[in-house]
Amino acid sequence: MKNQNFNQLRSKAVRKIEKSAIVEILRVINQPGMISLAGGLPAPETFPTKIIEKLASLVIKKYGSLAFQYGPTEGLKPLREALVSFLKEKGVETTFENIGIVSGSQQFLDLIARVFINPSDYIAVEAPTYIGAVDAFSPYQPKFLEIKTDKEGILPSDLEKKLKQKKVKFLYLVSTFQNPTGRTMSEKRRKEVAKVIKKFNLLTIEDDPYGSLRYFGKSPLPLQVFAPKQTVYLSTFSKILSPGLRIGFYVAPKEVFRLINIAKQTVDLHTNSFSQLIAAEYLLTGDFKNHLPKIIEIYKKRQEAMLEALEKYFPKDFSWTKPEGGMFIWVEGPKNFDSVKTYWQAVEKKVAYVPGCYFFVKQGQGKNTFRLNFTNVSEEKISEAIKRLSEVIKKNI
């Protein structure tokens, strides 16, 4: 038989993923000497490896075969129970039955799409939005409806207007220290958005991976608190423990919980049991409470270094967000600034960032913007990178 060309057998969805321009642009960030402000990785020095070593043997002693056997799809009870008080401190009141464990919050984004999206269904997202969510939803072939935003997140009036025009399956947003802008929706805005969500009984996914990484100020209550019957609250251990353990969790309205669970069962049966119990004990032993301030101390200094360097080196007609936490700063240049063109010149000077246009679902937006990550590079390197970047930018405006 003639050799089969498997490339030709690829599904349309896979062809689309392969062509993603952002994959192409980020190919260069691992070049030697590159200071990459492009990624969104936690700093490896924040991983509590000593604590994990201790918890690993504790888990084996305390739970025995539970850590290694197949488990329930919705997650192991010790973790779901430990999360009740973790969530309560954030303002989310729930019982363990409504908490599900997923293999990273990214898995939930696939599951929610799998359960709800038919081709051509409308999904509402922020402009700009977390591109990983768009990538997770896209294989199910939805149409994206961008909701206008300002400094406080989506505009309730625009959400309402779009909901009147189109039948939307669900709304996806990152409410605190958003990826990519770093922006946080104020509590007042959350209440206004919740009002619209309730009026239209709109299923809403509130993705909150960064809320615990707060360096200043006070946390607003989650959006979920103001519309609990419509809103899924989604979070993760990736930024407060380790992304490699792949533990995400969600609180969902009963019917949604059931559907997600059915979908998850067919995908991976359940999330890694050993990781789940490590995460449970991280909360139960108090190690999380002791360790979080150490992560915050590292990131707060890096964020300060980036803001100081931007102030010192960047041209005056550039502005940027000053988030009270999270991992990202969003920069906006003058109208004529082209962040994609500048990107390739920056790469030659060994600095990388992500051009802003890649975070919009509709083409032609964000040309003069870009995202900077400050968590995975030392303060000295951040300062050096911003200096180099400013020199490249000055040649381009």
How many helical (H) and strand (E) elements, i.e. helices and strands, does the chain have? 13, 15
Query: Which of 103/342 has CB closer to ligand PLP?
Result: 103
| Type and span of the H or E element at 306 | helix 287-313
Q: Is 323 in the site for ligand PLP (CB under 6 A)?
A: no
Residue of the chain from 71, 128, 156, 248 that contacts ligand PLP (CB under 6 A):
248
Residue of the chain from 175, 236, 242, 376 that contacts ligand PLP (CB under 6 A):
236
- Helix (H, G, I), strand (E, B), or coil: what is residue 203? coil
Q: Is 130 in the site for ligand PLP (CB under 6 A)?
A: yes
Positions 3 through 42 that interact with ligand PLP (CB under 6 A): 40
Shortest spacing between CB 84 and ligand PLP, in angstroms: 20
Are the C-beta atoms of residues 329 and 370 closer than 8 Å to each other?
no
SS3 content of the chain, % helix, strand, coil (to 5): 50, 15, 35
Q: Is 121 in the site for ligand PLP (CB under 6 A)?
A: no
* 47-55, 142-150, 222-230, 235-243 -> range binding ligand PLP (CB under 6 A): 235-243
Q: Is 75 in the site for ligand PLP (CB under 6 A)?
A: no
- Helix (H, G, I), strand (E, B), or coil: what is residue 2? coil
Alpha-carbon 177 to chain mean position: 9
User: Residue 211's closest CA among 225, 197, 228?
Assistant: 225
Shortest spacing between CB 174 and ligand PLP, in angstroms: 5
Query: Which of 302/309 has CB closer to ligand PLP?
Result: 302
Query: Which of 125/197 has CB closer to ligand PLP?
Result: 125
User: Residue 67's closest CA among 281, 285, 284, 286?
Assistant: 281
Q: Is 182 in the site for ligand PLP (CB under 6 A)?
A: no
Shortest spacing between CB 269 and ligand PLP, in angstroms: 18
Are the C-beta atoms of residues 331 and 251 closer than 8 Å to each other?
no
Q: What's the CA gap between 133 and 170, in Å, rounded?
A: 13
Query: Which of 249/337 has CB closer to ligand PLP?
Result: 249
Question: Using the 8-state DSSP alphabet, how is residue 185 labeled?
Answer: -
Shortest spacing between CB 397 and ligand PLP, in angstroms: 30
Shortest spacing between CB 344 and ligand PLP, in angstroms: 25
- Helix (H, G, I), strand (E, B), or coil: what is residue 369? strand
Q: Is 209 in the site for ligand PLP (CB under 6 A)?
A: yes
Q: How many CB atoms lie within 10 A of CB 138?
A: 18
Peptide bond into 180 cis (omega under 30): yes
Residue of the chain from 42, 75, 142, 243 that contacts ligand PLP (CB under 6 A):
243
Are the C-beta atoms of residues 154 and 193 closer than 8 Å to each other?
yes
Size of the site for ligand PLP (CB under 6 A): 14
User: Residue 352's closest CA among 27, 123, 64, 76?
Assistant: 27
Query: Which of 40/220 has CB closer to ligand PLP?
Result: 40
Q: Is 238 in the site for ligand PLP (CB under 6 A)?
A: yes
Shortest spacing between CB 200 and ligand PLP, in angstroms: 24
Q: Is 128 in the site for ligand PLP (CB under 6 A)?
A: no
* 103-111, 317-325, 352-360, 375-383 -> range binding ligand PLP (CB under 6 A): 103-111
Residue 131 has which token pair? 């591109």
User: Residue 279's closest CA among 99, 41, 98, 70?
Assistant: 99
Query: Which of 122/359 has CB closer to ligand PLP?
Result: 359
Q: Is 174 in the site for ligand PLP (CB under 6 A)?
A: yes
User: Residue 102's closest CA among 214, 207, 175?
Assistant: 207
Give the binding site for ligand PLP (CB under 6 A): 40, 104-106, 130, 132, 174, 179, 207, 209, 236, 238, 243, 248
